[in-house]
Amino acid sequence: MKKLISSATVQKALQFIREQELLKNGDSVVVGFSGGPDSTFLLQLLLIIQNIFNLKIYAAHLNHKLRGKEADEDEKFVREFCKKHKIECLFDTKDIQKIAQEKKQSIEETARNERYRLFNEAAQQFKANRIATGHTLNDNAETMIFNFIRGSGVSGLRGIPVKRDNIIRPLLGLTKEEILDFLKKEKIPFRVDSTNFEDDYTRNFIRNKIIPLLMELNPSLFDTLSITADLLRLLEKYIEVEEAKFDKIFVAKKAEKLLRIKIEENVDYKNYLMMDLIRKKINSVFNVQIGYEKTKEIVNLVKQEKGTTIQINEKILALRESNSILVLVEPEFEEVNFSVTYDSKLQKYYGSYFEFKISSASVKEAKLSDNPYVEFFDADKVKHKLILRNWKPGDKFVPLGMKYSKKVSDILTDAKIPSIFRKQILVLCDGPEIIWLVGVRLSEKYKVTNETKKVIKARINYDFEI
Amino acid sequence: MKKLISSATVQKALQFIREQELLKNGDSVVVGFSGGPDSTFLLQLLLIIQNIFNLKIYAAHLNHKLRGKEADEDEKFVREFCKKHKIECLFDTKDIQKIAQEKKQSIEETARNERYRLFNEAAQQFKANRIATGHTLNDNAETMIFNFIRGSGVSGLRGIPVKRDNIIRPLLGLTKEEILDFLKKEKIPFRVDSTNFEDDYTRNFIRNKIIPLLMELNPSLFDTLSITADLLRLLEKYIEVEEAKFDKIFVAKKAEKLLRIKIEENVDYKNYLMMDLIRKKINSVFNVQIGYEKTKEIVNLVKQEKGTTIQINEKILALRESNSILVLVEPEFEEVNFSVTYDSKLQKYYGSYFEFKISSASVKEAKLSDNPYVEFFDADKVKHKLILRNWKPGDKFVPLGMKYSKKVSDILTDAKIPSIFRKQILVLCDGPEIIWLVGVRLSEKYKVTNETKKVIKARINYDFEI
């Protein structure tokens, strides 16, 4: 075994492992072992370099119960290999076809999920800190081509991750051909890839039809794509760090389904980060995947006027505010119609959006408010019951400082209230007459004057600034 | 003409022009007009939207003298089209085949160069600030696939630039099919692409063999690739700004063929920028293109010991110094052997690498030097002619502060002088005896003591710190 360490293939794999820092001294590794050439080579490789890193080596094998007898023979091969090399292996059997039907997933997806579940179980049981899989340069090229065709951006073009959490892929620097050559030359037996369930239509099409054509133009395609993947991995790492710095412009309130994006000056050149982060944040806050076009529309709100809204989907809106872009779930219409008693202190309505409070106040205090959500009015002018209700078409009153009555709808338009918020604006009424278009305008009739003796203070608290 | 503005194809193109900010009010545009469908559509498009941007429209046409009669008919078509629409057009004829042979370039490259030369000439003549070419989404997809296969990193994957200097590509948002549909529907005549010399083997192979296969997996391939290109353009723009900030760690001395890269702490995550900039700088300073592997080796010098060198090519080396990486042309061996006269003031030898100067000095001054390239020694100990020469194997002397003689080669090893610099180190001799291993160590015998009466000061000036 030791003499194999000088083989060019082993050396190439070792260099890759060192460059990518996949193993460190004393690591415990579970190998996902199907019995096929890649995972057989991976196990052999780890045995050959075991002493360099003082590795503890384990394996895990899932019998997928597909292709009947063949799968059982794979398992038998794995059992024998492990016995011979004294490797502890966790075995499991799952009826993938049945699970796939139950979960309404593809066979490939189900098989993959069940495999990684078993690998993690094995890692726990053996107290291993690494799971190694046998993905090769070929698998990487296929994935990259697939992602290039379907368009999955930078993160797709960097191919299969070399390292993610506790999973490592030590063979991503070798081609399948190099692996088969080594196995043949060293007369190491393996099972023909019968348990490879990744051979779905698309992957086979890429492997057998597309790659041979691409290789006519570039015979070193695998190496070329591997370099591209390396570069994009470096780029992604850089972008991640920069995004973490840029993250401060995002205020994500998951519980309230609200996302605020502060608009900074002169960061146009950061639009890539902006788009990437918006996509991620919207996914995290609203659990919605948005595409390139929508993301671009949201970014372009920066250049739009205050109050401009765009529809992200049937329920979610983005709104340009003065210094930020607000993404939120469009508020549903909720009927409000209740009698406000003079001594009511704290009342909460309309989902979680606001609370309405009314109390008495001094005449002096009445002159000081510049908060549009606080209003003072003359208590003696109130002749009927105080009613808080939704405004409705046809509502009108004489706004403060004016002589003639005006329609509520026109007042709202003039005040540039974004249409999505109009329907949730309320009116406080003295029976049939409007005292206050809440948050927007008081009635001239109810204003506090020098003759006012008793003042009512009304206040609406929003959970967030509109 | 005006009613065509509402056509979906024109609107799509217009949206692209606005989004990418390709035209502004009052622009003067030269259209590269072959007579083929793309450039015919482009001219038509500009005529249709002429009033929106108050455009001045011109054209330029190169008769490539390839395919004889057909090329002349193309020219005739262009002349008639321009006459009909009152467009000034600059015409030129070049024997591309002949020029290609003379310049030892491909037909495609020659044709492209000559075309853009003519376009620029036309822009100058017509005082136009833009040159518009008819590249489409199909051209973009072909370029991206070509670059993906040959591996040209991020800048290759963003495809054909939408805007570069004064060149704009307003059709990069449309497919060739959309363009042909429009031309047919509106009964606008065009010449069959006879002057398209980009149909070399590779491009044809991509267009006719590879793209149809990729489209089996993704029928919206062109749009998908266009989105990828957009994203990567944004990313590239961002990277450019960030690289300009990071640029300060590079000191490029083009005249001296020298590049110094200062090593900063904790910038590992910036390795993508590092690699990209190293590649660009080495190309600019040394006019050498380096690949991924070499670039990576250079970056990895950060983790190596001081004095580690790597060979970039036969002539260029990278050297790890204490706080930087130095990239330089390996100094060639030059013989030095000359008599230094006591009153010599300024002498220059060894290419441009240093000057050697000798003068008299006071005993007091002799004790103050801590510059290794300045040395003081006892003038009365000198018995023969002062000689400055290359050191040679076998040279030895008693170094300052020691009792026994030591080989020059061992002293150089102990002083950790990188091997590439060793051969250019000189010795100052008193006839057969070494006074000073220049820049490294004085001889014990010649040192200035309390008895010294006359002092010689020797100094070597390097153009750059080693």
Contact between A205 and B216 using a beta-carbon 8 Å cutoff? yes
Above 50 in pLDDT, residue A351?
no
Rounded mean pLDDT, A370-398 = 90
Do A229 and A352 fall within a single domain?
no
pLDDT in the model for residue B2: 58
Helix (H, G, I), strand (E, B) or coil at A159: coil
Residues A231-246: pLDDT tens digits? 998 999 999 999 999 9
Give A354's pLDDT tier (boundaries 50, 70, 90).
low
Same domain, A37 and A132: yes
Using CA atoms, how far apart are residues A30 and A122, in angstroms rounded to an integer? 7
Does any CB of chain B come closer than 8 Å to the CB of residue A232?
yes
Residue B35 in contact with residue B80, Cβ under 8 Å?
no
Report percent pLDDT > 90 for chain A.
64
- Each residue's pLDDT tens digit, A269-289: 999 999 999 999 999 999 999
Taking CA–CA distances from A145, the nearest residue in chain B reads: B148
Same domain, B341 and B323: no
- Judge whether B121 lies within some domain: yes
How many domains does the structure of chain A reveal? 3
Query: Does one domain contain both B210 and B76?
Result: yes
Domain boundary among A204, A238, A272: A238
* Residues A241, B150: C-beta atoms closer than 8 Å: no
Same domain, residue pair B67 and B200: yes
Q: What is the pLDDT of residue A315?
A: 86
Q: What is the tens place of the pLDDT at every residue in B424-446? A: 788 999 999 999 999 899 999 99
Cβ atoms of B340 and B386 closer than 8 Å: yes
Residue count of chain B, please give it. Answer: 466
As to burial, measured by CB atoms within 10 angstroms (0-12 exposed, 13-18 middle, 19+ buried), residue B226 is buried
Do residues B140 and B43 both lie within one domain?
yes
CATH number at residue B53: 3.40.50.620
At A466, is the pLDDT very low, low, confident or very high (cuts 50, 70, 90)?
Answer: very low
User: Is A292 close to B242, i.e. CB distance below 8 A?
Assistant: no
In which band, very low, low, confident or very high, does the pLDDT at A195 lie, cut at 50, 70 and 90? Answer: very low
Residues A275 and B227: their CA atoms lie apart, in Å, by 12
**Which range of residues forms the domain containing residue A209?**
2-238
A306 and A389 fall within a common domain: no
pLDDT per position as a tens digit, A96-140: 889 999 999 888 889 899 999 999 999 999 999 999 999 999 999
The shortest C-alpha distance from A19 to chain B (Å) reads 10
Q: Report the distance separating Cα A396 and Cα A241, nearest Å.
A: 55
Residue A15 near chain B (CB below 8 Å): no
Instruction: Give the chain B residue whose CA is nearest to the CA of A156.
Output: B228
What's the pLDDT at B466?
Answer: 40
Q: Which of residues 288-307 of B touch A (CB under 8 A)?
A: 292
**Residue B198: predicted pLDDT:** 53
| Cα B401 to Cα B424: distance, rounded to the nearest angstrom | 25
Domain-embedded: residue A244: no
* Identity of the residue in A149, A217, A292 whose CB atom sits nearest the CB atom of B149: A217
Q: Is residue B234 less than 8 Å (CB to CB) from chain A? A: yes
pLDDT in tens, A420-463: 778 778 899 999 999 999 989 999 999 999 899 999 998 876 55
Evaluate whether B407 touches B396 at the Cβ level (below 8 Å): yes
- Pick from A206, A209, A214: which is nearest to B149 by CB? A214
**Using a CB-CB distance cutoff of 8 angstroms, which residues of chain A are in contact with residue B272?**
231, 234-235, 237-238
Interface confidence, given as ipTM, is 0.78
A158 and A220 in a single domain? The answer is yes
Distance from CA of A223 to the nearest CA of B (A): 9
- pLDDT higher than threshold 70 for residue A309: yes
Q: With a cut of 50, which residues of chain B have pLDDT below it?
A: 195, 345-346, 350-352, 464-466
- Chains A and B: how many Cβ contacts under 8 Å? 100
Whether A365 is covered by a domain: the verdict is yes
**Cα B132 to Cα A314: distance, rounded to the nearest angstrom:** 40
Cβ atoms of B30 and B128 within 8 Å: the answer is yes
Residues of A with Cβ-Cβ distance to B228 under 8 angstroms: 148, 151, 153
Please tell me which of the candidates A146, A150, A231 has its beta carbon nearest to residue B272: A231
Q: What is the DSSP letter of A322?
A: S
The CA distance from A226 to A142, in Å, is 11
Selected for mutation to probe chain A from B215, B231, B302 (highest A CB count within 10 Å) is: B231
User: What are the pLDDT digits (tens) for A55-112?
Assistant: 999 999 999 877 778 888 999 999 999 999 999 999 999 998 899 999 998 888 898 9
Tell me whether B227 touches chain A (CB under 8 Å): yes
3-state secondary structure chain B: CHHHHHCHHHHHHHHHHHHCCCCCCCCEEEEECCCCHHHHHHHHHHHHCHHHHCCEEEEEEEECCCCHHHHHHHHHHHHHHHHHCCCEEEEEECCHHHHHHHHCCCHHHHHHHHHHHHHHHHHHHCCCCEEECCCCHHHHHHHHHHHHHHCCHHHHHCCCCCEECCEECCCCCCCHHHHHHHHHHCCCCCCCCCCCCCCCHHHHHHHHHHHHHHHHHCCCHHHHHHHHHHHHHHHHHHHHHHHHHHHHHEEEECCCCEEEEECCCCCHHHHHHHHHHHHHHHHHHHCCCCCHHHHHHHHHHHHCCCCCEEECCCCEEEEECCCEEEEEECCCCCCCEEEECCCCCCEEECCCCEEEEEEEECHHHHCCCCCCCEEEEEHHHCCCCEEEEECCCCCEECECCCCCCEEHHHHHHHCCCCHHHHCCCEEEEECCEEEEECCCEEEHHHCCCCCCCCEEEEEEEECCCC
